[in-house]
């Protein structure tokens, strides 16, 4: 029985690839779009039923790769599968009039395969393959609508994704070498903890995964790329794909051995992202941008906590379950929030109020409203976050709440008298429900504590930042205060302009240089040629022959006498 169930792991990644292949068949594009929800089903089954920590070897594949489902990985996998499933249902409706169904289905399924594969890879090579798949092939999803803004966003995305890939590749090489050439993820992580590990390995990995997960200064692609994609794709980008970066850190950070420098840097960057990104979110004009910044913020929280744990040398078991749970909640909630953006124009009148209510609950949950799932996962995160971290997490409720309020405020206006189609509403509600329910369900299993352990009063007491936020929002609304309008991708614009100017300058310099190299020297050949002609004329004379004859005869005699 178990033997059969381990096969769910390869099936989880092969099945979407098969679906992707089918999308290539001529004329099958629309059909495969309808079948998008089928993709993550084996993965869901695997997350539920496949045995944990039982590696499946895949002899001959890559460098004798393998798949393995860890307990943490299972939560990531399950959450991603749920999100992908409902987003798939949503996409099937949302994109039914789309002009490029085959392309969407193809890349959707490939990214899905990569995303799921990241969570179950047992060796670094497979991991890297899946990571590259999810990272680079998400590009077509970002630019799916081909609008100029999307294309620009796609370019930024691609540049950073490729940079991240290279950083990860080099980091993994260094790490694998440090681990004596091992390629198993466990062994490599153990190797990173050794004092002999290459000093650049860990930073490179953090940079690489950080780019994917939106670590603060490297996050610039995220607020431009996530909003550019079609709604269901944004949902998986922000909900699931970002988690690949988080999972990378989960898999490779050598928790349990103190790594002060890397840990502290990660902490600082993570927590500053937590606040800065949320504040930047407030300045955004588009609902999707707000959500994207919110994602940066929330992922900053996760990475901050991971940084603290890394610096302190906390055991993985004390950190990872909480991180997984947090990621699960954030993924599902953020997915639902994104789907809400797509639903908003379709919800007239009463539907609008219902939608807003669900979204508000989700927002509050993200902000850590007591009794909601978000508070639960945040409380789980406070343990490994240390004292300061816990305070910061508590404070973040304020900024998150502001961001969420902004989100609700800029939600697209509804067209009158529209009813949302069932197959778009259902995924939204299902994801929202899952986000609010699953953490409760899993809390005990994962953390080993009862979700209701802490008393209600203390939780409410900890919610004061949330109250402050409510007050601030009410005040702002009352006086008509408008947030500043900030561009998507904050620092990106100026950087891009500088880069363009530099490139142009370099091009011009190179061109000038090559031109000056090509400038030919005056040709002397003709002059030498005339001389050669004259010499040859001399040789042709009989007189010259006679003289040379005597000379050579003399030379031979003289040389023989030497």
Under the rule (CB under 8 A), what is the footprint of other proteins?
Answer: 59-65, 125, 128-129, 132-133, 136, 143, 146, 151, 158, 162-163, 165-167, 169-170, 173-174, 176-177, 181, 198, 200, 507, 510, 529, 532-533, 536, 538-550, 552-557, 559-562
Cα(267)–Cα(393) distance, integer angstroms = 12
- Taking the least distance from each CB to other proteins, the nearer of 148 and 416 is 148
Q: State the nearest-atom distance from the C-beta of 530 to other proteins, in Å.
A: 10
Q: State the nearest-atom distance from the C-beta of 520 to other proteins, in Å.
A: 15
Q: State the nearest-atom distance from the C-beta of 549 to other proteins, in Å.
A: 4
User: Coil, helix or strand for 247?
Assistant: helix
Could you please report the per-residue DSSP string of 184-246? BHHHHHHHHHSTTS-TTHHHHHHHHHHHHHT-GGG-THHHHHHHHS-HHHHHHIIIIIHHHHH
Cα(246)–Cα(372) distance, integer angstroms = 23
- Taking the least distance from each CB to other proteins, the nearer of 145 and 186 is 145
Asked whether 350 and 447 are in contact (CB, 8 A), the reply is no
Q: State the nearest-atom distance from the C-beta of 227 to other proteins, in Å.
A: 19
Q: State the nearest-atom distance from the C-beta of 231 to other proteins, in Å.
A: 21
Residue appearing with tokens 């990995």 = 205
Q: State the nearest-atom distance from the C-beta of 24 to other proteins, in Å.
A: 8
Q: State the nearest-atom distance from the C-beta of 342 to other proteins, in Å.
A: 23
- Taking the least distance from each CB to other proteins, the nearer of 22 and 162 is 162
Mind spelling out the 3-state secondary structure of 23-82? HCCCCCHHHHHHCHHHCCHHHHHHHHHCCCCCCEECCCCCCCCEECCCHHHHHHHHHHHH
Asked whether 267 and 171 are in contact (CB, 8 A), the reply is no
- Taking the least distance from each CB to other proteins, the nearer of 160 and 282 is 160
Q: State the nearest-atom distance from the C-beta of 375 to other proteins, in Å.
A: 40
Q: State the nearest-atom distance from the C-beta of 162 to other proteins, in Å.
A: 5
- Taking the least distance from each CB to other proteins, the nearer of 68 and 462 is 68
Cα(94)–Cα(116) distance, integer angstroms = 23
Q: Which residues make beta-bridge pairs with 123? A: 184
Q: Which residues make beta-bridge pairs with 67? A: 56, 121
Q: Which residues make beta-bridge pairs with 66? A: 57
Q: State the nearest-atom distance from the C-beta of 556 to other proteins, in Å.
A: 4
Asked whether 280 and 402 are in contact (CB, 8 A), the reply is no
Cα 307 from chain centroid (whole Å): 18
As a whole number of angstroms, the longest Cα–Cα distance in the chain is: 125
- Taking the least distance from each CB to other proteins, the nearer of 498 and 507 is 507
- Taking the least distance from each CB to other proteins, the nearer of 453 and 548 is 548
- Taking the least distance from each CB to other proteins, the nearer of 85 and 209 is 209
- Taking the least distance from each CB to other proteins, the nearer of 212 and 352 is 212
Q: State the nearest-atom distance from the C-beta of 402 to other proteins, in Å.
A: 37
Nearest to 400 by CA among 330, 343, 353, 460: 330
Angle between helical axes of 148-178 and 221-228 (0-180°, round to 10) = 130
- Taking the least distance from each CB to other proteins, the nearer of 170 and 423 is 170
- Taking the least distance from each CB to other proteins, the nearer of 162 and 470 is 162
- Taking the least distance from each CB to other proteins, the nearer of 117 and 465 is 117
Integer distance in angstroms from the first to the last C-alpha of the chain? 101
Distances (CA, A) of 238 to 87, 133, 290: 12, 16, 12
Q: State the nearest-atom distance from the C-beta of 211 to other proteins, in Å.
A: 13
Nearest to 120 by CA among 180, 20, 51: 51
Asked whether 232 and 90 are in contact (CB, 8 A), the reply is yes
């Amino acid at each position: 029985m178990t033997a059969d169930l381990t096969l769910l792991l390869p099936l989880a990644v092969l099945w979407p690839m098969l679906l992707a292949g089918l999308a290539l068949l001529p004329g099958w594009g629309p059909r495969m779009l309808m079948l998008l929800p089928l993709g993550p089903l084996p993965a869901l089954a695997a997350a539920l039923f496949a045995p944990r920590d039982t590696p499946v070897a895949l002899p001959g594949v890559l460098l004798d790769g393998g798949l393995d489902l860890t307990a943490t990985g299972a939560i990531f996998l399950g959450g991603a599968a749920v999100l992908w499933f409902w987003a798939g249902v949503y996409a099937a409706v949302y994109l039914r009039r789309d002009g490029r169904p085959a392309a969407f289905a193809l890349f959707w399924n490939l990214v899905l395969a990569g995303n799921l594969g990241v969570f179950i890879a047992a060796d670094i090579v497979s991991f890297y393959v899946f990571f590259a798949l999810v990272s680079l092939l998400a590009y077509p999803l970002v630019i799916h609508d081909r609008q100029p803004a999307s294309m620009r966003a796609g370019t930024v995305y691609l540049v950073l994704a490729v940079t991240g890939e290279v950083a990860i590749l080099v980091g993994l090489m260094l790490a694998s070498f440090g681990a004596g050439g091992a390629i198993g993820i466990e062994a490599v992580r153990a190797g990173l903890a050794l004092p002999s590990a290459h000093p650049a390995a860990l930073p490179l990995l953090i940079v690489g995964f950080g780019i994917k997960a939106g670590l603060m200064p490297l996050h610039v692609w995220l607020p431009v790329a996530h909003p550019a994609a079609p709604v269901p794709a944004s949902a998986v980008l922000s909900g699931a794909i970002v988690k690949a970066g988080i999972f990378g850190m989960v898999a490779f950070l050598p928790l349990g051995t103190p790594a002060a420098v890397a840990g502290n840097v990660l902490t600082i960057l993570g927590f500053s992202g937590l606040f800065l990104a949320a504040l930047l979110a407030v300045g955004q004009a588009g609902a999707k941008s707000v959500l994207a910044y919110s994602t940066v913020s929330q992922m900053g929280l996760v990475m901050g906590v991971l940084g603290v744990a890394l610096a302190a040398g906390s055991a993985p078991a004390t950190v990872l379950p909480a991180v997984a749970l947090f990621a699960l909640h954030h993924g599902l909630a953020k997915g639902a929030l994104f789907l809400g953006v797509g639903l908003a124009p379709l919800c007239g009148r009463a539907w609008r109020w219902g939608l807003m209510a669900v979204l508000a609950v989700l927002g509050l949950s993200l902000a850590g409203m007591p009794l909601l799932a978000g508070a639960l996962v945040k409380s789980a995160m406070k343990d490994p976050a240390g004292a300061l971290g816990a305070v910061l997490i508590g404070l973040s409720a304020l900024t998150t709440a502001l961001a969420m309020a902004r989100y609700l405020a800029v939600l697209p206006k509804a067209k009158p008298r529209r009813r949302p189609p069932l197959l778009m509403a259902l995924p939204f509600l299902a994801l929202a429900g899952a986000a609010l329910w699953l953490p409760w369900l899993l809390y005990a299993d994962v953390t080993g504590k009862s979700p209701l352990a802490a008393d209600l009063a203390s939780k409410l007491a900890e919610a004061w930042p949330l109250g402050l936020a409510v007050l601030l929002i009410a005040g702002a609304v009352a006086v008509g205060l408008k947030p500043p309008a900030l561009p998507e991708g904050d620092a990106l614009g100026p950087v891009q302009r500088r880069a363009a100017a530099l490139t142009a300058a370099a091009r011009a310099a190179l061109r000038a240089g090559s031109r000056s190299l090509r400038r030919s020297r005056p040709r002397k050949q003709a002059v030498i040629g005339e001389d050669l002609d004259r010499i040859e004329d001399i040789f042709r004379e009989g007189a010259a022959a006679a003289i040379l004859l005597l000379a050579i005869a003399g030379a031979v005699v003289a040389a023989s006498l030497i």
